Amino acid sequence: MLVVVAPGQGSQTPGLLTPWLEDPAFAARLDWLSAVAGLDLAHYGTEADEETIRDTAVAQPLLVATGLLAALQLFPHPADAFGRVGAVAGHSVGELTAAAGARVITAEQAMVLVRERGAAMASAASATATGMTAVLGGERGDVLATLARHDLVPANDNGPGQIVAAGTLDQLADLANDPPAKARLAPLKVAGAFHTMHMAPAVGRLDHLAKSVSTHDPRTRVISNRDGQVVHSGTEVLRRIVGQISQPVRWDLCMEAMADLGVTGLLEIPPAGTLTGIAKRFFGKDVETFALKTPDQLDAAREFCDRHGEPSPFELSPTWRMVVAPSKGMFELSSDARDAETLSAGAPIGDVVGTRDRISVTAAHGGDVVEWLVEDGDLVSPGQPLVRLHPAAAPAAAR
């Protein structure tokens, strides 16, 4: 099973677009996304120095555009991707790339949102001197206790041996003087304490814009940074992306979800390397990884996708909608839904009871029950279809 992942801020490097722009089609598409973003992305991806592309307002649009266009090079006919990609996930701003790749939003919507996200986060970061530091190694309990002692937030939990601390520069300086035992500290090339309360003003800006964004339910499984759940409502995917600006990234739980899904191959789109490195530490030799960095790797990347790919479990249909399991666990069918012929929007379907928690499942859109695909007490996997619903007919207008 193939998972495609999109990296977040900090993975950008000077000149990352230089080899890609040799392709006229890539260059033309980048011009279009540059027009949408209001930025000269070709300049930032070829000529700008490291300090310039560290700017949040530049880095985030550059990352999303690079990922979207490289994915289009990998799958020239986008619909073909859903015959291979079993799930997608993005780290932080990479969630916008993943959402567009899954057809929740368009590339143009993603570029407008990332433009405003980057500008709003840069503005929020300028209010207070903040930053982020990776804590590598150490015992997990000791690392978290040390961060709490310094009033720092574990803003990114990237799995065993890597937690990213975020807070004010003074708090990070205190951490440098009093680190967790057996841990190494690595300051990150970011402009603020992302995924913390310091980013709250940016959430408000994006939430306002998101209200006007039309969404579609994803064409493949989307794994959420918030908690590793598979989300199959386009509205919910976007809502979570907005809220994630000021909430920690639980990439460790995303990888646990990938393992539950039975991932065998993980491909990282450009600028690649960070997430494949994390995956190698988490999965070991059980999962093959591919870091797509330059266009001369495209043929090998396509072979990788063919080797690990399997069709997405979701198919577009104008006649029914599916409700899917958000995580691995045992399905407990709601007594109210058991014999219902029609479920209203938001009606409870049941709960998925896992080892960590109990997650309620609702009929996001509502509709007439066509077919139950699981029974009470069945074990389910992330993204597994639970029930098919036919959109209920709208009541006739009063005459």
What count of other Cβ atoms lies within 10 Å of the Cβ of residue 92? 25
Q: Between the CA atoms of 249, 253, 84 and 363, what dihedral angle is there, to the nearest 10 degrees? A: -90
Taking alpha carbons only, the member of 339, 341, 327 closest to residue 379 is: 327
Q: Are 284 and 20 contacting, i.e. CB atoms less than 8 angstroms apart? A: no
Cα 318 to chain centroid distance, Å, stands at: 27
In whole angstroms, what is the distance from residue 316 CA to residue 220 CA?
A: 10
Contact by Cβ (8 Å): 330, 353: yes
Out of 11, 34, 91, 92, pick the active-site residue.
92
Tell me if residue 92 is catalytic: yes
Query: Per the residue annotation, which of 91, 150, 195, 365 is the catalytic one?
Result: 195
Burial 167-184 (b: 16+ CB within 10 A, else e): bbeebbebbeeebbeebe
Question: Which residue from 235, 215, 221, 218 is spatially nearest to 346, judged by alpha carbons?
Answer: 235
| 329 Rama class: left (phi>0) / alpha (psi -120 to 50) / beta | left
| Residue 198 a catalytic site member | no
Q: DSSP secondary structure string, 143-157?
A: HHHHHHHTT-EEEEE
Q: Which helix (H) or strand (E) holds 277?
A: helix 274-283
Strands 385-390 and 367-372: antiparallel
User: Active-site residue numbers?
Assistant: 92, 195
